Amino acid sequence: MPLLMLDLDNTLVDRDAAFRAAVQAFLAEHGLPDTDLTWVMTVDASGYTARHDVAAAMTDRYGTLVPTTAIRALLDNGAADRVVLASSSREALSKAQADGWTCVIVTNGRITQQEAKIRNAGLDRLVQGWVISEGVGHKKPEPEIFHAAEEAVGVSLSGAWVIGDSPHADIAGANALGLRSVWVSDGRPWTQDSYQPTHVADDVASAINYVVSAPR
């Protein structure tokens, strides 16, 4: 049973869209300018900015206008409460499993937040397992987190694929281990010179379907 390792945020689920909707609701609830949406999304940087840094920036900007508990709730639960799994992605995952693939989510982030996304999107019923950087003490692209994925499901990295949207975390991580990979571009151009993905796909469903149909 070959191993298929998939990124979570902005790969399996549109984390940015979910967080954007949460921020819009947050601004409306607290009577803040809707134009602040762009500022918050920029500070957040698709989740790559550390949570405590985003919280500090928002606290500094809004002062006494917003309770710190509301800011923490937005950052902890906003995206997780709103993530959805596209039907095309659900179908592609089901097809991969039916074809004998072992699917494992490999994601950076905090356990509570990432597991909430996985369960709320229904991914816990479509994959054989997941590893989260906080739980294993290593972040992508470090090889240890990919080895943790193979150990979690008892399937060797030999013949494994990696699918993700991050050139650095996902594709470079796969490349360092000699694994094949699909970069989910969402229309972006590939700009790295030192390494390349095996394939580029516009979305995760297309990426999964490519892997399933590729020679093993």
Q: What percent of the chain has pLDDT over 70?
A: 100
Three-state DSSP state, 182 = strand
Q: How far is CA 103 from the centre of its chain?
A: 14
Q: Band of the pLDDT at 178, cuts 50, 70, 90?
A: very high
CATH number of 3-13+85-213: 3.40.50.1000
pLDDT tens across 153-164, in order?
Answer: 999 999 999 999
Q: How confident is the model over 5-21, as a mean pLDDT?
A: 98
pLDDT tens across 44-53, in order?
Answer: 999 999 999 9
pTM to 2 decimal places: 0.94
Q: In this structure, are residues 148 and 130 in contact, taking their beta carbons and an 8 Å threshold?
A: no
pLDDT at 182 over 90: yes
What is the predicted pLDDT for the residue at 215? 87
What whole-number distance in Å separates Cα of residue 9 and Cα of residue 54? 18
pLDDT at 212 over 90: yes
DSSP for 65-88, written as a single string: GS-HHHHHHHHHHTTTTT----HH
